[in-house]
A and B are shown apart, each in its own frame.
Chain A
Amino acid sequence: MKHIKTLTNKTLKSTVKKGGCGECQTSCQSAKTSCTVGNQVCN
């Protein structure tokens, strides 16, 4: 595309079927007051 550069290669919707396994790290164990789940790592 000439005008738009897309930085992502998959959508969140693609994680609906495969997601929810629960093996991800609990977000609070990383660094305790201002939790952000979006910077965690997934499978």
Chain B
Amino acid sequence: MVHQYKNNGYNMVLDVESGSVHVVDDLTYDVIALFEKNSLEEVQSQLGQYESKDVKEAYEEVAELKDMGVLFSEDDYEDYICEFKKRPTVVKALCLHIAHDCNLACRYCFAEEGEYQGDRSLMSAEIGKKALDFLVANSGNRRNLEVDFFGGEPLMNFDVVKEIVAYGRSLEEEHNKNFRFTLTTNGMLLNDDIMDFANKEMDNVVLSVDGRKEVHDYMRPTPNGKGSYDIIIDKFKKFAEQRHQEKYYVRGTFTHHNLDFSQDVFHLADEGFKQISVEPVVGPDTEEYTIKEADLPQVMKEYDKLASEMVKRNKEGKGFTFFHFMIDLTGGPCVAKRLSGCGSGTEYLAVTPWGDLYPCHQFVGEDEFLMGNVNDGIKKEDIVSEFKATSVYSREACRDCFARFYCSGGCSANSYKLNGTINGTYDIGCQLERKRVECALMIKAAQMTEKESSNEE
């Protein structure tokens, strides 16, 4: 399957099944659109605006790439992926809900002020240590293990975070494991001691800020209704500098209220942040803040605006990373990873403050997805099997989608919350993902052609 589109002056051609990406001239762009169903003579007669010999030349180049398996290639992965998914899996990562409590009252929070449809609760060090024991025992030969401190607001239980990290470090040598700890925080309790600790122990930190002050303060108020931007922004800047502008993300959420979200990305970049992720809110259509079908044309324009500005800033030496435009064309994931999905329910589990296990943080509080606990392990293997069976090929809508090798079938939790099944898709999310893939590939094309031009000079 070939997907071709024009973006920011580039004629882009994606050969979906091989993952090959091509930039072509106008003539070849038109030839490719006709290639599969027409002979050379038919293409020449339909493209009368071009010289016949030029059409022949372009047609032959396309045919050559087809023979090389990088254009019009076939999808012959399904049997491979179905077999791959049957392999025994190990647990690689845990999301520790270190605090089901929060000191903000964000309007869009899927955790409902950190409580996840339950009561306020903090994880004890004992439960945290048992979670790490469970991870080590269920991780097979996998050396790198990931543990994310999540909430609620994790810094409301920081002493326990420190104790769990120390315990993890004490397990590493004996079990030949390497823990990669990560932390998500709203920044309200961030201070120099916590930053020092995180800079020493946290492989990545995610810092929640939505962008412009008025946007952030509207969606992320304190429980008494005041804004939180002024409390956090300077601390986040200091934190990012201390981490040498790497191994962190400032992470924002855009909603129906800031459809001009590219301005929030530029605001964060202009404030000096280099690692930025601003992502669409996900929620039920009944909420006033969610992205509606009618909002999509503006959101698409914003992604285009963001992408072309990023190309411009890159050229000026003022580039930044935008998480959803990250695509590695030389060292990205293997096809098994791309088509089998995020690993929720099999390789990645969430742990509640009292030690219950769920397929991921977004299923916490959904009783039918309670899988077991850190003391007894996984009790409901049928849930593991259900998640193991999900892949691009189990979702009908993915079969004809050009983005399926990049999104891997989308989020099971989003599908469950919107469709009642983990095997569906979230249509608005899909449309946004396709746009982001198009923008990301265009940025790559711009960077690579710019680099070649520089080398030629």
Taking the closest CB of chain B, its distance from the CB of A28, in whole angstroms, is 6
B137 at the interface (CB under 8 A from A): no
Interface segment among B164-172, B260-268, B296-304, B343-351: the answer is B343-351
Give the chain A neighbours of B84 by CB distance below 8 A.
20
Say yes or no: B336 contacts A19, CB within 8 Å. yes
Question: Of A1, A23, A39, which one neighbours B328 at CB under 8 angstroms?
Answer: A39
Bound Cα distance from A27 to B148, whole angstroms: 12
Q: A7-B329, A13-B335, A35-B408 are in contact. Are A2 and B148 (CB under 8 A)?
A: no
Say yes or no: A4 contacts B148, CB within 8 Å. no
Say yes or no: B204 contacts A7, CB within 8 Å. no
Say yes or no: A34 contacts B282, CB within 8 Å. yes
Question: Of B18, B61, B150, which one neighbours A4 at CB under 8 angstroms?
Answer: B61
Taking the closest CB of chain A, its distance from the CB of B51, in whole angstroms, is 13
Interface residues of B: mostly helix, strand, loop or mixed?
mixed
Bound Cα distance from A42 to B57, whole angstroms: 37
Q: Which of B36-90 contact A (CB under 8 A)?
A: 57-58, 61-62, 64-65, 69-70, 73, 77, 80, 84, 87, 89-90
Say yes or no: B330 contacts A35, CB within 8 Å. no
Give the chain A neighbours of B347 by CB distance below 8 A.
22, 26
Question: Of A1, A9, A11, A30, which one neighbours B61 at CB under 8 angstroms?
Answer: A1
Say yes or no: A20 contacts B336, CB within 8 Å. yes
Give the chain A neighbours of B184 by CB distance below 8 A.
32
Say yes or no: B92 contacts A26, CB within 8 Å. yes
B28 at the interface (CB under 8 A from A): yes
Q: A12-B335, A33-B411, A38-B408 are in contact. Are A23 and B144 (CB under 8 A)?
A: yes
Count B interface residues, CB 8 Å.
Answer: 91
Bound Cα distance from A26 to B64, whole angstroms: 38
Give the chain A neighbours of B333 by CB distance below 8 A.
19, 24, 37-38, 40-42
Bound Cα distance from A17 to B440, whole angstroms: 27
Nearest A residue to B32 via CB reads A4
Give the chain A neighbours of B407 by CB distance below 8 A.
35-38
B397 at the interface (CB under 8 A from A): no
Say yes or no: A22 contacts B92, CB within 8 Å. yes
B2 at the interface (CB under 8 A from A): no
Give the chain A neighbours of B13 by CB distance below 8 A.
4
B7 at the interface (CB under 8 A from A): no
Taking the closest CB of chain B, its distance from the CB of A31, in whole angstroms, is 4
Interface segment among B213-221, B227-235, B380-388, B444-452: the answer is B444-452
Bound Cα distance from A28 to B79, whole angstroms: 26
Interface segment among B116-124, B193-201, B319-327: the answer is B319-327
Say yes or no: A5 contacts B24, CB within 8 Å. yes
In this complex, the member of B64, B408, B414 whose beta carbon has the largest number of chain A beta carbons within 10 angstroms is B408
Question: Of B90, B279, B332, which one neighbours A41 at CB under 8 angstroms?
Answer: B332
Taking the closest CB of chain B, its distance from the CB of A33, in whole angstroms, is 5
Say yes or no: A8 contacts B280, CB within 8 Å. no
Give the chain A neighbours of B64 by CB distance below 8 A.
1
Taking the closest CB of chain B, its distance from the CB of A13, in whole angstroms, is 6
Question: Of A3, A22, A29, which one neighbours B90 at CB under 8 angstroms?
Answer: A22
Q: Which of B394-447 contact A (CB under 8 A)?
A: 405-408, 410-411, 414, 429, 432-433, 436-437, 440, 444-445
Give the chain B neighbours of A20 by CB distance below 8 A.
84, 87, 334, 336-337
Give the chain A neighbours of B21 by CB distance below 8 A.
6-8
Q: Scoring B residues 248 to 291 as 1 if CB is less than 8 Å from chain A, else 0, what string do you get? A: 01010100000000000000000000000101111000000000
Nearest B residue to A17 via CB reads B334
Say yes or no: B22 contacts A6, CB within 8 Å. yes
Say yes or no: A34 contacts B279, CB within 8 Å. yes
B27 at the interface (CB under 8 A from A): yes
Give the chain A neighbours of B226 by CB distance below 8 A.
none
Bound Cα distance from A9 to B266, whole angstroms: 32
11 contacts between A and B (CB under 8 A): A7-B21, A8-B19, A11-B19, A13-B73, A25-B93, A28-B342, A32-B150, A33-B279, A35-B342, A40-B337, A42-B333
User: Which 6 pairs across A and B sit closest by C-beta, in order of nearness?
Assistant: A19-B334, A38-B406, A15-B334, A37-B408, A39-B326, A20-B336
Q: Which residues of B contact A (CB under 8 A)?
A: 13, 17-25, 27-28, 57-58, 61-62, 64-65, 69-70, 73, 77, 80, 84, 87, 89-90, 92-93, 95, 110, 142-144, 146, 148, 150, 180, 182, 184, 204, 206, 249, 251, 253, 277, 279-282, 323-324, 326-338, 341-344, 347-348, 360-362, 405-408, 410-411, 414, 429, 432-433, 436-437, 440, 444-445, 448-449
